[in-house]
């Protein structure tokens, strides 16, 4: 494959790969037919959007994409049981996972129940002491004091804990991959059950919970009873969808698009307080949800008190929201320090093994189980391969895994568990967890590497950087970026387009310890602002800070920067190469 702009080895060691010629021809035809900008048509063509569908894709309506909730198995039973608990004012417990998806799912239910004057019990297990998902002692205690237990973002594999909940009904609302045999719960609503058709398999748990509330509201309206405003809850669904790295396609895309609008109103005390401590001074974007808000919500479950994030998202008390947000912000700072120490050790291990295998992995004694998932994501990004990071405490290892598009990691790890090569494991396509012994480590990683290789992991170049379109700096206008944003939101399975700018002159200045602010121009118009975050953590900063008379090809993503009442286009720099 010919390198784009002849960049075979960029400053970061990557080969640039240009647009697909077939998609390029489709994009040119779409531009002629629809009169939309060619760069936007290239994005639409890459998404498989036909010219006649372009207008609907650029303005998706949630009502047009919403499925009938009853297409999910056990949904009718779950909705009936929830409404019966409300009508009888029963004692309800919510057992949630400790991540953003679990916290947002719990907050959805807590907020909805508060409309009826009901205060449910929130239970989130401690990551270190209890591990992921329902456990027998906790479920037995909850069952003794409650009539209904709602397990959210967990429970699909929890046969013994569900059986231990004697005297209470258990309803599971989850999205993790299921085995053929399900726990003996009253209802298990999960689009990734083996007897589902997979049409909604891309939903996170919060999306599943939202569909349950849609069905519950629908039944209440038939009885002419007042219902909570579900549209106002979409900020929580959007946050969970992005933070859980669910694909931003179909219904998820509509959830996030609408949820960002709701979040921009700053009506939820917890999210408003969190945005303030994160110093978010611009309208929310998927990047902000994934890298500013999500990590702070997660921080409690990773290294602090497990229920802090869910309580923050659910609270309607301003003072409580401020206090929880401040606590989570501090925990996130602590978490970053722990993460960096583990990342450096894990990267050294992975590089020693080689980053070109189908699986990249690292394991060591004492790595905090709350950060191994983040470090796995960093390894995945560095190698463009699925990655596993495991922390051991004695003979027991707990790990997290992250995948790349097109490789179903959850199914592969679930197969390891079924084959007895690990103690337990499961998850979904892009992320999974596992537990194993030291003796199981080497054979399990070898087997997992083999399973992933069969799915194509490792086939692509680990250092390839895909370019969607070539632009001049003068063409990077606010109007163009606004049109491109209509094809979003961008994220998992719908990456933001990456543009190349050829043969540009660069002026730059350092910002703080590691960032670089640039102005670039190819002579076609006014200079284009650019930011290279973390540039001095790698080769970009030293090369671009004092460029002299050298010119460069640049690659990155365009975004709008709102500052002092002005809106300007900014390039978020990914890579550069000498022109």
- pLDDT tens, position by position, 420-455: 999 999 998 999 999 999 999 999 999 999 999 999
**Coil, strand or helix: which one is 65?**
helix
Give the max Cα distance, the chain.
77
Residues 180 and 83 in one domain: yes
Same domain (yes/no): 416, 480: no
Rounded Cα distance between 114 and 104, Å, is 15
CATH of the domain at 532: 2.40.50.460
> What is the average per-residue pLDDT within 460-473?
84
**Closest of 545, 533, 543 to residue 573, by C-alpha:** 533
Which range is least confidently modeled, 302-306, 485-489, 512-516, 562-566? Answer: 562-566
For residues 391 and 423, state if they share a domain. yes
Containing 277, the helix (H) or strand (E) segment is helix 269-277
What H or E segment, with its residue span, contains residue 142? helix 136-145
Residue 437, class by beta-carbon neighbours within 10 Å (0-12 exposed, 13-18 middle, 19+ buried)? middle
Please indicate, yes or no, if residue 23 is contained in any of the structural domains.
Answer: no
In a domain, 42, yes or no: no
Residue 490: which domain range? Answer: 467-578
- For the chain, the domain total comes to 3
Residues with Cβ within 8 Å of 141's Cβ and at least 6 positions away in sequence, in order, are none
Same domain, 105 and 187: yes
The answer to whether residue 16 sits within a structural domain is: no
Q: 575: helix, coil or strand?
A: strand
Q: What confidence tens digit (pLDDT) does each residue in 539-575 have? A: 999 999 999 899 999 999 999 998 888 899 999 999 9
Last residue of a domain, one of 396, 426, 454: 454
Q: What pLDDT is attached to residue 563?
A: 84
240 with 302, same domain: the answer is yes
**pLDDT score recorded for residue 131:** 87
Residues 391 and 279 in one domain: no
Q: What is the pLDDT of residues 77-125, one digit of tens each?
A: 999 999 999 999 999 999 999 999 999 999 999 999 999 999 999 999 9
- Both 209 and 316 in one domain: the answer is yes
Q: What is the DSSP letter of 571?
A: E
Average pLDDT, stretch 532-540?
Answer: 92
Q: What is the pLDDT of residues 42-64, one digit of tens each?
A: 999 999 999 999 999 999 999 99
pLDDT at 460 exceeding the cut of 80:
no
pLDDT of residue 286: 95
Averaged over 350-360, what is the pLDDT? 93
State whether 373 and 278 are in the same domain: no
- Mean pLDDT, all residues of the chain: 95
Give the per-residue pLDDT at 570. 96
Would you state the structure tokens that stand for residue 153, as one six-digit string? 């973002």
**Predicted confidence band of residue 215 (pLDDT cuts 50, 70, 90):** very high
Overall average pLDDT of the 351-378 stretch = 94
Q: Mean pLDDT check: name the lowest of 42-46, 164-168, 272-276.
A: 42-46
The yes-or-no verdict on residue 190 having pLDDT over 90 is: yes
In a domain, 413, yes or no: yes
Residue 513: is its pLDDT beyond 90? Answer: no
What is the C-alpha R_g of the chain? 24
- Model's pTM, two decimal places? 0.91
Task: Give residue 461's pLDDT.
Answer: 60
Residues 6+ apart with CB under 8 A from 574: 465, 498, 555, 556, 557
Residue 224 lies in a domain: yes
Q: Tell me the mean pLDDT in the region 458-476.
A: 86
pLDDT-based confidence at residue 224 (cuts at 50, 70, 90): very high
Our measurement of the distance from residue 98's CA atom to the centroid of its chain's CA atoms, rounded to an integer in Å, reads: 15
Please report the DSSP string for 374-409 in residue order: HHHHHHHHHHTS-EEEEEEETTEEEEEEE--TT--H
Give me the half-sphere count of Cα atoms (radius 13 Å) on the Cβ side of residue 66.
16
Asked if the structure places residue 346 within a domain, the reply is: no
Spatial contact of 172 and 183, defined as CB atoms under 8 Å apart: yes
Are 255 and 395 found together in one domain?
A: no
| 311 and 218 co-located in one domain | yes
| pLDDT surpassing 80 at residue 160 | yes
Do 177 and 313 share a domain, yes or no? yes
105 is a domain residue:
yes
Would you say 177 and 185 are in contact if contact means Cβ atoms under 8 Å apart? no
CATH number at residue 378: 3.10.310.30
Are 81 and 215 found together in one domain?
Answer: yes
Q: What percent of the chain has pLDDT over 90?
A: 91
Residue 388 in domain = yes
For residues 456 and 525, the model is more confident at 456
């Amino acid at each position: 494959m010919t390198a784009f702009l002849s960049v075979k080895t960029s400053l970061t060691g990557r080969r640039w790969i240009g647009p697909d010629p077939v998609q390029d021809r489709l994009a040119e035809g779409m531009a002629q037919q629809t009169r939309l900008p060619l760069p936007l048509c290239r994005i639409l063509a890459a998404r498989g959007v036909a010219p006649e569908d372009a207008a609907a894709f650029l303005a998706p309506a949630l009502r047009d994409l919403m499925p009938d909730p009853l297409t999910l198995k056990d949904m009718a039973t779950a909705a009936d049981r929830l409404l019966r608990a409300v009508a009888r004012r029963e004692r309800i417990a919510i057992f949630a996972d400790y991540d953003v998806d679990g916290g947002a799912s719990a907050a959805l239910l807590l907020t909805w129940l508060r409309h009826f004057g009901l205060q449910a019990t929130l239970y989130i297990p401690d990551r270190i002491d209890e591990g992921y998902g329902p456990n027998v002692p906790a479920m037995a205690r909850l069952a003794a004091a409650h009539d209904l237990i709602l397990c959210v973002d967990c429970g699909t594999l929890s046969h013994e804990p569900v059986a231990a909940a004697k005297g209470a009904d258990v309803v599971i609302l989850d999205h993790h991959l299921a085995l053929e045999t399900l726990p003996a719960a009253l209802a298990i609503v999960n689009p990734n059950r083996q007897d589902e058709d997979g049409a909604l398999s891309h939903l996170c748990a919060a999306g599943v919970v939202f569909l349950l509330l849609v069905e519950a509201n629908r039944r209440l309206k038939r009885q002419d009873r007042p219902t909570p405003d579900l549209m106002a809850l979409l900020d929580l669904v959007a946050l969970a969808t992005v933070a859980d790295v669910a694909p931003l396609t179909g219904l998820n895309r509509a959830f996030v698009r609408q949820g960002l609008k709701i979040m921009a109103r700053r009506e939820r005390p917890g999210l408003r307080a969190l945005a303030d401590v994160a110093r978010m001074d611009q309208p929310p974007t998927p990047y902000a949800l994934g890298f500013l808000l999500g990590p702070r919500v997660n921080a409690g479950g990773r290294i602090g008190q497990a229920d802090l994030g869910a309580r923050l998202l659910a609270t309607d008390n301003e003072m409580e929201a401020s206090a929880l947000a401040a606590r989570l912000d501090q925990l996130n700072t602590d978490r970053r320090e722990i993460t960096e120490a583990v990342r450096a050790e894990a990267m050294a291990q992975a590089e020693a093994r080689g980053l070109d295998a189908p699986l990249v992995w690292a394991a060591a004694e004492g790595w905090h189980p709350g950060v191994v998932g983040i470090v796995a994501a960093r390894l995945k990004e560095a190698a463009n391969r699925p990655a596993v990071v495991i922390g051991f405490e004695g003979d027991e290892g707990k790990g997290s895994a992250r995948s790349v598009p097109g490789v179903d990691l959850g199914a592969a790890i679930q197969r390891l568990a079924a084959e007895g090569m690990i103690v337990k494991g499961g998850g979904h396509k892009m992320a999974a967890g596992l537990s194993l012994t030291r003796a199981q480590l080497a054979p399990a990683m070898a087997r997992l590497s083999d399973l992933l290789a069969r799915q194509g992991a490792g086939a692509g170049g680990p250092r390839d950087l895909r370019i969607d379109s070539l632009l001049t700096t003068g063409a990077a206008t606010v109007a163009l970026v606004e049109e491109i944003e209509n094809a979003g939101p961008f994220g998992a399975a719908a990456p933001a387009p990456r543009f190349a700018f050829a043969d540009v002159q660069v002026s730059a200045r350092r910002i703080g310890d590691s960032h670089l602010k640039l102005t670039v121009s190819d002579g076609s118009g006014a200079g284009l602002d650019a930011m290279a975050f973390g540039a001095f953590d790698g080769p970009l900063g030293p090369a671009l800070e004092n460029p002299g008379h050298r010119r460069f090809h640049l690659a990155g993503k365009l975004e709008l920067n709102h500052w002092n009442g002005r809106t300007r286009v900014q390039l978020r720099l990914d890579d550069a190469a000498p022109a």
